[in-house]
A and B are shown apart, each in its own frame.
Chain A
Amino acid sequence: MTYKVIGKRVRRVEDPRLLTGGALFVGDVNLPDMLHAAFVRSDYAHAKIISIDTSSAKEIPGVVGVYTAEDMGEAWEPGPPLVSPPPSLEGVTFNSCRQVPLVKDKVKHAGEIIAVVVAESRYIAEDAVEEVYVDYEPLPAVTDLEKCLEPGHTLVHDELDSNLAAHLVQNKGDYEAAKKEADLVIKRKFKLDRGAAAAMENRGIVVDWDQKNQHLMVWDATQSPIPIRNGLAGRLGLRTHQVRVVAPFVGGGFGPKIMMFYAEEMVLPWLTMKLNRPVKWIEDRKENFYATTQEREQVQEVEMALSKEGRILGIRQNIIHDTGAYDPYGLTIPLNTQSHSMGPYDIKNYSSELSVVFTNKIITTPVRGAGRPQGIYIVERMLDIACRELELDSRDVRRLNFIKPDQFPYDHEIIDQAFTNLVFDSGNYQPAYDKAIEKIEYDKFINEDQPRLRAEGKYVGIGVVPFIETTGVGPYEGARVAIEPSGKISAATGVGTQGQSHMTSFAQIIAEQLSVEVEDISLVSGDTAEIHWGTGTFASRGAVVAGNAVLAAASDVRKKVLKLASKILETPEDELELEGGQVRVADIPDKSISLGELAVLANPFRGAVEPGTEPGLESTKYFGPAYGATAFGVHGMILEVDPETMMIKIHKYVTVEDCGTMLNPLVVEGQIHGGVSMGIGNAYYEKLHFDENGQLQNASLADYLIVGATEMPHIEVYHQNTPAPNNKLGTKGVGEAGAIPVPAAFAQALENALPNYDLEITETPLSPNRLFELLYRQED
């Protein structure tokens, strides 16, 4: 299909406000008579609270109140289970333990909230936090994923028998039978550790209870305003129309801003209703490390059975996944890990046992990648190791095992994060893989560049890793599109923006349908006053799920436009055309009417709207896919290791992405660049170091190293388009793709760069220090 606007490199509608300092972020909301909150957080990862003394804090001038769990009375209740355990599997164990607004008896991770101070300024509130005295009885911290399941181990949740949060087994085919047929069976243990999402904007919330109007206004840096609205109404005993949640411009999300509800999101609304004054809290960076959710921690034992030709006969996997102190987000991450542990390969036999454990660490919820990088890491690492043992070219082995184009839709016979069957809708893997091999100049590097550079004493290596990304899952999203009397278009969706360019990409879809300029479309995303139904921004699904809802609404408005214009212009619909905000009779250009005039006529002040019709040129539509749209990509990198410092320099980085129809290639490329930067962090710089007491050792941006401009390579982005067959736009998600394969590609390239060290990498994130340890250990 040929588009005029969709697929074009349209510059963004939202940029002028962001570039001039005029865009509203939650931190910018300042209301008359507003109070400020600051939180007293636990210094211990695991401790009983003996007593809390708030008396001297309350005496500080400007302090309005200091509140503990006791003060909340009946309003105190844990957060809701955000994602329930999968209902469709038998034999699932799931122990739901949810986070609390203020801790009553026992703290379960460092940073958990014990009390809240409300004061006339943030400065005073923070002074008072220092004057709240908590008497603790420290307990041993549960931190080790494997040891924590041993009998008699300290418990995070005393009401449970063990630290097991969940357990399930997923099977496909018969792994044990496949193993008997195998020529090679390899087994490895992998350690995948934690990182932070570290959006540049910390979390924040401003709440304002209007007593006379009985209405609660909430500005929240959330990825999910509508469920926050619904949940708050329920918690506070209000109707949904009494709560409006606005997620204005949000300064990066990457997953953790959809953890519902954070303790602060439960405490602040209670405070404004109690005090009848607006209250503001903006998270600081230290709190962001201690209280905002994190991801990636797993220990996996993996077995892969192969034929001597390199055909993967089966995979067996034992995953221990760390959910942290609570498990509100259910099994989303580890189900994603399982869904990606067979990668893009046609594997008939798979057996995966998952144990989710509680620890005295910060809660884990999806962070860009959301379990997928772990799956891709283990399958790609196992393939690299197997190819060495079988003495096969890993490129041939990958090509041999790819799911072939005629095998789609490919049903993996296990369930995915949406609890539906893991079905890959479409794909064409080998051409994209070959393109990456070509663009990275694999043969030239291996045959010419690497030997020459090695002769010069340089340690250079290449890594090329293919991956799939399940995207665009349900349940649904909605969109409303309306033509205003001015002829301009208003639109809304519940999928808020954290930088993904919704105001432009979705406007392109509308512009295509209604033949108007992108600049004439004003799209609100993330305001519950503008649309009633929706879930949020997560799982690389905006372009697929909200995008197709926007398409449905815009095309319905187009139908209404043509129907009304046909009547007014006394011309059959099929002789009308839309162009430049006008409906014209095809052969008589002078016979036309503007969209604005039609909008006025569609909303008469006298007379009667015909039975069975609706006023206005407006439509609200929803889209809910039966299952997701599976994207594919390949990343290739050439890196050099400095043998003295173990610092690396990436000489070349190539990606080939297949995300189906691109709404805006400029935006797609931006998403990939950003994803890769996070992936490079995950691979070589960013690790959250917890000690045995559950204390985070590097809780600042000075110690936790986010990738800067000097660490980033130039990324070459190439595209392939295999349209998604199950949505009209043919889109697949791409938001998380960039981050997914990087640690696996990094490991492959490092091993290739250091052939004399017999290096086998089975952990991530690495770091210069850690690489040095791995090499030094092997030299001993």
Chain B
Amino acid sequence: MDNTYELNVTVNGTSYQETVDPRTLLSDFLRDGLGLTGTHVGCEHGVCGACTVLLNGEPVRSCLIFAPQVQGQEIMTVEGLGTVDDMHPLQEAFREAHALQCGFCTPGILTTLLPWLEENPNPTEDEIREAISGNLCRCTGYQHIIDAVKLAAEQMN
């Protein structure tokens, strides 16, 4: 049995050609294979949302996908959103509103919100709560996250 797989994938705009074990989870491939450790793994069963990345622009749980399933496709992780010196307005808003504490769930929340805000540029509080209802945060009680999303929506408009 051939135990390797040649994976071609674009992550954060860079093309990668990597040999992987076919059963490698996308989350592990990103973290251990490419060193993009901003994607966090909180539950490994698709509930907590910490490992959310964008697959062709749509949020997916990278712990529920095998790396070969993204063959030829485009991934975006939190590392593709902004840098320390040049953060995305959504990241800036999270900082401004103290929307993170330990920061472990944050990358998955940012990647969930990025496409959602494009589709929902003027969200209400209830809509924001619904949008992040698949992302668990144990630190913030979500309130400052909601403040941050409102702030980001204002600034991105």
Contact in complex: B138, A673 (CB < 8 Å): no
Give the size of the chain A interface in residues (CB under 8 angstroms).
Answer: 59
Contact in complex: B37, A674 (CB < 8 Å): no
Cα A620 to Cα B145 with chains together (Å): 37
Contact in complex: B136, A701 (CB < 8 Å): yes
Contact in complex: A670, B140 (CB < 8 Å): yes
Q: 1/0 per position for A541-576, CB-CB distance to B under 8 A? A: 000000000000000000000000000000000000
A21: chain B residues at CB < 8 Å are 36-39, 77-79, 107
A673: chain B residues at CB < 8 Å are 140-144
Within 8 A of A (CB), among B101-157: 101-107, 110, 125, 128-130, 132-146
Contact in complex: B138, A706 (CB < 8 Å): yes
B82: chain A residues at CB < 8 Å are 19-20
- Interface segment out of the listed B43-51, B54-62, B67-75: B43-51
B106: chain A residues at CB < 8 Å are 18-19
Known contacts A17-B84, A21-B79, A285-B45; is A708 also within 8 Å of B125 by CB? no
Within 8 A of A (CB), among B63-105: 77-79, 81-84, 87, 91, 94-96, 98, 100-105
Chain B, interface size: which category? 35 or more
How many whole Å from A642's CB to the nearest CB in chain B?
A: 17
How many whole Å from B82's CB to the nearest CB in chain A?
A: 6
Known contacts A251-B40, A712-B143; is A123 also within 8 Å of B23 by CB? yes
Contact in complex: A16, B95 (CB < 8 Å): yes
Contact in complex: B98, A666 (CB < 8 Å): yes
Q: Count the A-B residue pairs with Cβ separation under 8 angstroms: how many?
A: 185
The chain B residue sitting closest to A19, CB to CB, is B91
B135: chain A residues at CB < 8 Å are 708-709
Question: A107 at the A/B interface (Cβ < 8 Å)?
Answer: no
Cα A445 to Cα B141 with chains together (Å): 25
Contact in complex: B98, A710 (CB < 8 Å): no
Q: 1/0 per position for A683-695, CB-CB distance to B under 8 A? A: 0000000000000
Question: B2 at the A/B interface (Cβ < 8 Å)?
Answer: no
Question: A424 at the A/B interface (Cβ < 8 Å)?
Answer: no
Contact in complex: A252, B136 (CB < 8 Å): no
Known contacts A499-B139, A709-B142; is A200 also within 8 Å of B105 by CB? yes
Contact in complex: B83, A674 (CB < 8 Å): no
A738: chain B residues at CB < 8 Å are 141
Contact in complex: B125, A714 (CB < 8 Å): yes
Cα A714 to Cα B96 with chains together (Å): 19
B132: chain A residues at CB < 8 Å are 709
Cα A23 to Cα B78 with chains together (Å): 12
The chain B residue sitting closest to A501, CB to CB, is B101
Contact in complex: A201, B40 (CB < 8 Å): yes
Contact in complex: B38, A285 (CB < 8 Å): no
Within 8 A of B (CB), among A497-528: 497-501
Question: A676 at the A/B interface (Cβ < 8 Å)?
Answer: yes
Q: Which of B141, B144, B145, B146 contacts A676 (CB 8 A)?
A: B141
Within 8 A of B (CB), among A85-107: none
Question: A715 at the A/B interface (Cβ < 8 Å)?
Answer: yes
Question: A202 at the A/B interface (Cβ < 8 Å)?
Answer: yes
Contact in complex: A677, B142 (CB < 8 Å): yes
- Nearest first, the 3 A-B pairs at minimum CB distance are A21-B38, A251-B104, A499-B102
| Given A250-B102, A677-B141, A677-B142, 12 further pairs, Cβ under 8 A | A16-B91, A19-B78, A19-B110, A20-B38, A200-B138, A285-B48, A497-B102, A499-B139, A670-B101, A674-B139, A710-B130, A712-B142
Residue positions of B touching A, CB distance < 8 A: 21, 23-24, 28, 31-32, 35-45, 47-48, 50, 77-79, 81-84, 87, 91, 94-96, 98, 100-107, 110, 125, 128-130, 132-146
Residue positions of A touching B, CB distance < 8 A: 11-12, 14-25, 27-28, 30, 122-123, 198-202, 249-252, 254, 282, 284-285, 497-501, 666-667, 669-670, 672-678, 700-702, 706, 708-710, 712, 714-715, 738
